[in-house]
Amino acid sequence: MESLNKITISAEALRHNFAVCRHHAGDAGILAMVKADAYGHGMIECAGIFVEEGAVALGVAEVVEGIKLRKAGFTVPVFILAGIINQTSQAAVENNLTPVVVDNSALGELNKYARRAGKEIDIHVKLDAGMGRQGTLPEGIVALVKEIDAYPCLNTKGVLAHFPMADDRQSSNSDDVLETFSSTARLIEKEIPHHCMYHIANSGGLFYVRGAQFDMVRPGISLYGCYPDGETGRQAATKNLLKPAMCFTTSVIQVRNVDKGVGVGYGHSFFTGRPTTVAVIPVGYEDGYLRKLSNTAQVLINGHRAPVIGRISMNLTLIDATDVGPVNVGDQVVLLGPQGSEEITADEIAGWMDTINYEVLCLFGHMNDRVFID
């Protein structure tokens, strides 16, 4: 039997968003980011859709995710973007995953397993062009590329970097990072006689930073229908709007008529200020509907907004359904997504939770059963 709590993923929305990204990408190939179970949308299904739509590669954070893609039969390059260490070298090589290296520490092991497998492998190098998180600084990059190419079974195929603030269109940071990346690319091309491919753009870089496409782009959040700068991005977009792919729905499991002045739920954090129709839903913090949303979030019933009242508990949440018309057990409740002409967005929920849309999608998607539609 299906759970009452359900995440639905629209394949049509994913395809649409891929097309929007392709439009921005120009001639650059698209590496579709499917890490974190495709931001909670389901890695295997999403990867299938993006590859069908023309993704030239897939991106994950860790080797274990890449192995799942290989087991599912994907043959396109799969990039391990959080990098390879000695312990993960063998599995990366044996599963034909594309290692991203952050420094020289795993090169010996990568070469060893490549030699054992009787093949040469393509390596991409992570440059720290201003992210300040991972990788090698520009001054060390030529030496690292030369060191890689000195190994008989390793070839430097690409150089990548990551923007720290591409979601902030007011900041000049991305122009500085882009300039560092471009000048480092020119230096590599001058010093080393073979041609690398270059890639830097996440969704923010792809949508907001002019000239960040290079040979390949790496959108994530935009493929799933959200803007990297949330509601600001959606408001600013005039055409080719991204379509959110994820909805979170449940059903009413009890309707109660509660008198005025009654404390509801743990801690009586809410007292009814009027005779109140309370709808009980079987969603709680174990479903990713965090306690932080208590007395704050809204849901949709009968196409109208209705507030969460009282404290969200592990498996139950209370809704003030007084103003939404007749409510019955079994009626659909939308926590994320549209109902009628109303919509609750991941950005709105992120605001209530004091976080970003990325975290809302991962949380809801990871903690609930998913079905694909369209």
Strands (E), the chain: 6-10, 29-33, 57-60, 78-80, 98-101, 121-126, 154-160, 197-201, 216-217, 246-251, 254-258, 263-264, 270-271, 276-281, 298-301, 304-309, 317-320, 332-339, 342-344, 370-373
H-helix segments, 193-264: 203-208, 231-236
If one asks whether residue 34 binds ligand PLP (CB under 6 A), the answer comes out as no
Nearest distance in Å: CB 243, ligand PLP: 16
Which of these is catalytic: 146, 266, 285, 292? 266
Whether 289 is catalytic is no
Residue in 24, 68, 162, 311 binding ligand PLP, rule: CB under 6 A: 162
Closest of 111, 185, 110, 109 to residue 141, by C-alpha:
185
Whether 35 is catalytic is yes
**Residue nearer to ligand PLP on the CB measure, 35 or 311:** 35
Residue in 13, 30, 32, 33 binding ligand PLP, rule: CB under 6 A: 33
Write each residue from 200 to 229 as x if it is in contact with ligand PLP (CB under 6 A), else as -, in one continuous string.
Answer: --xxx-------------xxxxx-----x-
Nearest distance in Å: CB 202, ligand PLP: 3
First to last CA, the chain: 21
Helix (H, G, I), strand (E, B) or coil at 186: helix
Which of 89-97, 197-205, 270-278, 289-297 is the region at the interface with ligand PLP (rule: CB under 6 A)? Answer: 197-205
Write each residue from 236 to 255 as x if it is in contact with ligand PLP (CB under 6 A), else as -, in one continuous string.
Answer: --------------------
Element (H, E) at 373: strand 370-373
Nearest distance in Å: CB 102, ligand PLP: 11
Q: Are 215 and 31 a contacting pair, CB within 8 Å?
A: no
Nearest distance in Å: CB 35, ligand PLP: 6
φ and ψ at residue 94, rounded to 5 degrees: -65, -25
φ and ψ at residue 140, rounded to 5 degrees: -105, 0
* Interactions with ligand PLP, residue window 77-116 (CB under 6 A): 81
Kindly list the residues in this chain that would bind ligand PLP in the complex (CB under 6 A): 33, 35, 81, 162, 202-204, 218-222, 228
Active-site residues, by number, are 35, 266
